[in-house]
Amino acid sequence: MREIGVGILGFGTVGAGVAAGLLKNRELMAERTGMDIVLRRIADLDITTDRGVEVDPSVLCTDAFSVISDPSVDIVVELIGGCGIAGKLVRAAIEAGKPVVTANKKLLAEQGCEIFKLAQEKGVDVFFGASVGGGIPVIRALRDGLAGNRIESVHGILNGTCNYILTRMEKEGLPFETVLKSAQEEGYAEAEPSLDVDGFDTLHKAAIIAALAYGVQPDVHTLSVEGIRGAVDGADIVYAGEFGYRIKLLAVIKNDGESVEIRVAPTMVPRDGMLASVSGVFNAALIKGDLSDKTLYYGRGAGRLPTASTVIGDILDVARNLSSGQPRAFVIPRTRMPLRIKAKGEEKSRFYVRLSIKDAPGSLAFASGIFGNHGVSISAALQKEPGSSCGGFATVVIITHEALRADVDAALEEISESPLSGGVPHCFGIAD
């Protein structure tokens, strides 16, 4: 039986999960693939901490480059993350003609273009299934099952930390900071949570999906991203519920034929829709293809074994390609016509707006007049009495008809600058 040697770079949570999975299911994988997938090397700066998996100590080392150059390693699995040393190692592996499996969303979102170009030149595979959706085969679905479709849209709940926080805020009526602190204590959120709660982790994933679906390689620093911190509070969650919606941190990737929209923002989704029922740490991606119509992918978006499951699936694909002698040199597809990426503010949808305005004659007419002046039509408005009037200011919630985000923002800026305004408005798109 042909042996395929695997070298893992990074012995953290996912690295240890991959090692455990490869050891546990070695025979099963051999039956399924006709190849013996052998864990040959693991590199990490810390090789003394107990990772909860028993590996032969001779497998462990601290020099990741020596793993790449080891002739017994056929596939390099990069699980360090980030654009620093991980980027150097991925490039070194490709240069050495070794296929790479990685879960590194930041690296691919920011430098994917160059990495896939290099992989194509060298004729080696770069597989990255675990970079989006952890244990959910979203990338595989886009790459394989839906490959014959024009992808019309992808709506994704792609960050378990944010979904966990929003779910608890809604169910328990707790403020963001309280839930974040408790999530950190329970190990559901990182001590430094900004990558998650400010939306960047989701944005990296959105950029990878857009690259796969549309062949675009956006500069992620120019894309529209809003997280949940400082944006969503308990009142919004309650009002969203009253209008029949739930708030989710959503990645939206859409193609209208001429341009591609890629953005991340707290968004209202219908309570009876598929995405609204995705709660806690779970992730989901709702993909609409021109042939398939809507398909939903749901599961654990993070975690040791779920993420390892996807990494190992990629290892087996690469092993099959090595065995057939035909690396697919899998690269991001390119569209025949370059698609423009929509600028911030160009997206169109209905919007939810929560305003605080002076509880005085003419205030509501003044605010609605400003929306009208900016071409934004109001579909519904709600002001409760008397409890919502606080310190002489009233809370008014407005749902607009479809409008351009830039027009809504311009109206909100004008309202905020007026002496009638009692605070910063909250505004979310509605994904109907």
Q: What is the DSSP letter of 25?
A: T
Q: Tell me whether residue 205 is one of the annotated catalytic residues.
A: yes
| 44 or 201: CB nearest ligand HSE | 201
Report H helices in 271-392. 304-324, 363-373
Amino acid sitting at position 11: F
- Find residue 249's DSSP bridge partners: 266
The residues binding ligand HSE (CB under 6 A) are 159-161, 196, 201, 301-302
CB of 103 to ligand HSE, least distance (A): 8
CB of 161 to ligand HSE, least distance (A): 3
Q: Which long-range contacts (CB under 8 A, 24 or more apart) does 413-416 make?
A: 414/370, 414/374, 415/355, 415/357, 415/367, 415/370
For residue 220, which phi and psi values (nearest 5 degrees)? -60, -25
Between strands 393-400 and 389-390, the pairing is antiparallel
What is the C-alpha to C-alpha distance for residues 61 and 50, in angstroms, rounded to an integer?
14
What count of other Cβ atoms lies within 10 Å of the Cβ of residue 90?
Answer: 26
What is the C-alpha to C-alpha distance for residues 226 and 224, in angstroms, rounded to an integer?
7
| 264 or 410: CB nearest ligand HSE | 264
Q: Which of 26, 8, 103 is nearest to 316 (CA)?
A: 26
| 266 or 422: CB nearest ligand HSE | 266
CB of 304 to ligand HSE, least distance (A): 12
Report H helices in 303-395. 304-324, 363-373
Q: Which long-range contacts (CB under 8 A, 24 or more apart) does 319-322 make?
A: 319/4, 319/33, 319/35, 319/37, 319/74, 319/75, 320/33, 320/35, 321/99, 321/125, 322/4, 322/74, 322/75, 322/99
| Secondary structure E strands in 186-318 | 224-225, 245-255, 259-270, 282-289, 293-300
CB of 245 to ligand HSE, least distance (A): 22
| 129 or 160: CB nearest ligand HSE | 160
CB of 134 to ligand HSE, least distance (A): 6
Single out the catalytic residue among 98, 105, 205, 358. 205
Do 196 and 165 touch, CB atoms closer than 8 A? Answer: no
| 160 or 218: CB nearest ligand HSE | 160
CB of 156 to ligand HSE, least distance (A): 11
- By residue count, the chain amounts to 432
Distances (CA, A) of 377 to 270, 367, 414: 21, 12, 16
What is the C-alpha to C-alpha distance for residues 104 and 301, in angstroms, rounded to an integer?
14
CB of 277 to ligand HSE, least distance (A): 18
What is the C-alpha to C-alpha distance for residues 77 and 313, in angstroms, rounded to an integer?
12
| 7 or 306: CB nearest ligand HSE | 306
| 162 or 415: CB nearest ligand HSE | 162
Between strands 348-358 and 393-400, the pairing is antiparallel
| 161 or 421: CB nearest ligand HSE | 161
CB of 157 to ligand HSE, least distance (A): 9
Cα 308 to the center of its chain, rounded Å: 17
Catalytic residue IDs: 205
